[in-house]
């Protein structure tokens, strides 16, 4: 009796499958990049498909490229949904592995803190506004498709994600990579793009340049002692943009290099790959 019921059920299933509409072409998704907190994932799908990541629609280039950025504390699954023009939907979940960071606890520091005076604080707010505005750019040209390189090489003096906890108070994690290249070393664009910010004296970051690589991907280069580009200039990967310096609030010459996808800080070492010899 049970066997018969099972066969009946299978028969019903077969009928259901046979009477279903013809199978439509599935939207294709492929991934490049690094699946890790701090990583940038470059997806490829059919041109004309639309994509959402964790329920948020993302820009798809005319050749089907789209970007996904994993923040410092990204965890769990990234849920990707691709919809073809004919309505066919493909879903994929990408599991994000755990990543540990360097945490440095320093206790027993004197309570007195350096608080900027009101004028300085106003200036800091104004400059932060300029940086945030540059990070909101959602350019439709996929400059990032041409790949990335290191802007300068040298000893790494600060890595992405490390954090100091002073007297039990967590400070902002380090959101880029510090490269202790010598003063005056040439800094080049990490990828093709457009210069979206040139500032010769920011309170924290000194001489600062930002590049827009398309689809919300931005890179920032700070503490420079010379700037070799102008706002709005089109650059290619390797174009000299400035010189290593120690402008802004900094103890010695180095390049702080940051990469963001909109407001999400990424790890430049994961975006560009290992530093060349």
Residue 192 is classified by DSSP as: S
Which is closer to Zn ion, CB of 196 or CB of 205? 205
C-alpha dihedral, 198 to 156 to 248 to 105, nearest 10°:
130
Say which residues have a Cβ less than 8 Å from residue 127's Cβ, sequence separation at least 6. 199, 202, 203, 204, 205
Other residues' Cβ atoms within 10 Å of the Cβ of residue 21: 5
Binding site for Zn ion (CB under 5 A): 158, 178, 256
Q: Name the minimum Å distance from CB 68 to Zn ion.
A: 24
Query: Taking a C-beta distance cutoff of 8 angstroms, is the pair 194, 231 a contact?
Result: no
Q: Name the minimum Å distance from CB 29 to Zn ion.
A: 34
Q: Name the minimum Å distance from CB 59 to Zn ion.
A: 29
Which is closer to Zn ion, CB of 179 or CB of 197? 179
Q: Name the minimum Å distance from CB 200 to Zn ion.
A: 19
Which is closer to Zn ion, CB of 99 or CB of 256? 256
C-alpha dihedral, 235 to 239 to 241 to 244, nearest 10°:
150
Closest residue to Zn ion, Cβ-based?
256
DSSP 209-225: EEEE-STTEEEEEEEES
Q: Name the minimum Å distance from CB 221 to Zn ion.
A: 11
Q: Name the minimum Å distance from CB 178 to Zn ion.
A: 4
Which is closer to Zn ion, CB of 194 or CB of 197? 197
Residue 108 zone, left/alpha/beta (φ > 0; ψ -120 to 50; rest): left
Which is closer to Zn ion, CB of 28 or CB of 263? 263
Integer Cα distance of 143 and 215 in angstroms: 9
Say which residues have a Cβ less than 8 Å from residue 150's Cβ, sequence separation at least 6. 179, 190, 272, 275, 276
Which is closer to Zn ion, CB of 213 or CB of 256? 256
């Amino acid at each position: 009796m049970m066997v018969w019921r099972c066969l009946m059920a299978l028969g019903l299933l077969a009928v259901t499958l046979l009477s279903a509409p013809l199978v439509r072409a599935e939207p294709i998704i492929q991934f490049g990049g690094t699946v890790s907190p701090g990583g940038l994932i470059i997806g490829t799908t059919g041109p004309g498909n639309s994509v959402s990541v964790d329920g948020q629609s993302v820009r798809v280039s005319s050749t089907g490229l789209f970007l996904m950025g994993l923040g410092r504390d990204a965890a769990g699954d990234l849920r990707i949904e691709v919809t073809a023009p004919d309505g066919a939907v493909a879903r994929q979940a990408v599991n994000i592995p755990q990543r540990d960071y360097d945490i440095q606890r320093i206790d027993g520091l004197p309570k007195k803190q350096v608080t900027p005076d009101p004028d300085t604080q106003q200036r800091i707010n104004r400059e932060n506004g300029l940086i945030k505005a540059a990070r909101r750019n959602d350019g439709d040209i996929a400059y990032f498709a041409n790949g990335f390189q290191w802007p300068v090489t040298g000893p790494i003096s600060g890595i992405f994600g490390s954090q100091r906890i002073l007297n039990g108070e967590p400070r902002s994690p380090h959101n880029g990579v510090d490269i202790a290249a010598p003063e005056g070393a040439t800094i080049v664009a990490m990828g093709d793009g457009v210069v979206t910010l040139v500032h010769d004296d920011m309170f924290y970051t000194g001489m600062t340049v930002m590049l827009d690589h398309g689809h919300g991907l931005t890179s920032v280069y700070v503490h420079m002692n010379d700037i070799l580009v102008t706002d709005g200039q089109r650059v290619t990967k390797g174009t000299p943009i400035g010189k290593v310096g120690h402008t802004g609030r900094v103890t010695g010459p180095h390049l702080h290099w940051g990469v963001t996808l909109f407001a999400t800080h990424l790890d430049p070492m994961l975006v560009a790959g290992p530093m060349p010899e």
